[in-house]
């Protein structure tokens, strides 16, 4: 069985060669020739794949195809590529986090319009509940999130202990605060944007975190 090539990926996603050329700064002809060259099985540079990944952010099926292709063809570079050189939050980064607080003003809307990002949070919460907390504007909003995490039901009291409830959450963007070794939650915020959760600057992150903790309670690191 032949190894997968970048041209195999292009045949599966909806971007034309002209659109790809615009994204990576090459001519359509160069892309066409490069993808079809037997000597260029892996045609795209890491930053070019990162650009393709962010360009497909509205299509979770295509995002999944790109993730699978990158991890199969470039395992040593996959994490950097899929995080767009550290600018986007990835599943691996979430899974390695010591503690997480996800700010979700309206989970029903979020789940419909950003299913890939919603699934990332659902999966992480399910895998390690004690280290996962959400902030929601109402108890009903919090329950909507937890219903997707544990569709067969769970201890509601425990889940609400993992939920900070305050109407002021509606004033905040969809975002995720995570703590990692050497990086505290208050300076490590990722805000939802085009392409996924994007790294937020430390000063604004600290102000948002202070506001959030004042409203829902918790340690202000």
Same domain? For 101 and 207 the reply is yes
Residue 153 has pLDDT above 70, yes or no: yes
Range from 16-30, 47-61, 120-134 carrying the lowest mean pLDDT: 47-61
Number of domains in the chain: 2
Residue 126: what pLDDT? Answer: 95
Kindly indicate the confidence band of residue 221, based on its pLDDT and cuts at 50, 70 and 90: very low
With H, G, I as helix, E, B as strand and everything else as coil, classify residue 24.
helix
**Rounded to whole angstroms, how far apart are CA atoms 81 and 72?**
13
For the segment 123-141, the average pLDDT, to the nearest whole number, is 94
Q: Residue 115 is encoded by which pair of tokens? A: 């299913």
Specify if 221 maps to a domain.
Answer: no
Kindly indicate the confidence band of residue 220, based on its pLDDT and cuts at 50, 70 and 90: very low
Kindly indicate the confidence band of residue 193, based on its pLDDT and cuts at 50, 70 and 90: confident
pLDDT tens digit sequence for 95-106: 888 899 999 999
Q: Which domain holds residue 12?
A: 6-82
Same domain? For 143 and 180 the reply is yes
- In this structure, are strands 99-103 and 196-199 parallel, antiparallel, or unpaired? unpaired
* pTM, 2 dp: 0.65
Same domain? For 175 and 95 the reply is yes
Pure H helices in 74-217: 78-82, 91-96, 107-113, 115-127, 139-149, 156-161, 202-216
Q: Identify the residue whose tokens are 């260029």.
A: 40
Same domain? For 70 and 115 the reply is no
Kindly indicate the confidence band of residue 160, based on its pLDDT and cuts at 50, 70 and 90: confident
Same domain? For 102 and 39 the reply is no
Kindly indicate the confidence band of residue 26, based on its pLDDT and cuts at 50, 70 and 90: confident
């Amino acid at each position: 069985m032949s190894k997968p090539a970048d041209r195999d990926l292009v045949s599966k996603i909806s971007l034309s060669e002209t659109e790809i050329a615009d994204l990576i700064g090459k001519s359509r002809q160069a892309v066409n020739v490069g993808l079809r060259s037997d000597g260029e099985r892996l045609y795209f540079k890491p930053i070019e794949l990162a650009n393709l990944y962010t360009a497909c952010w509205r299509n979770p099926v295509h995002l999944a195809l790109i993730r699978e292709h990158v991890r199969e063809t470039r395992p040593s570079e996959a994490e950097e590529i899929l995080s767009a050189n550290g600018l986007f939050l990835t599943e691996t980064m979430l899974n390695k986090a010591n503690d997480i607080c996800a700010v979700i003003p309206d989970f029903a809307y979020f789940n419909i319009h950003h299913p890939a990002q919603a699934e990332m949070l659902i999966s992480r919460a399910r895998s390690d509940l004690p280290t996962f907390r959400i902030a929601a504007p109402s108890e009903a909003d919090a329950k909507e999130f937890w219903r997707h995490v544990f569709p067969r039901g769970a201890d509601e009291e425990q889940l609400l202990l993992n939920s900070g409830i305050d109407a002021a959450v509606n004033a905040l963007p969809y975002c995720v605060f995570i703590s990692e070794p050497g990086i505290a939650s208050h300076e490590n915020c990722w805000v939802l944007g085009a392409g996924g959760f994007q790294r937020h600057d430390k000063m604004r992150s600290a102000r948002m975190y202070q506001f959030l903790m004042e409203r829902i309670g918790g340690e202000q690191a």
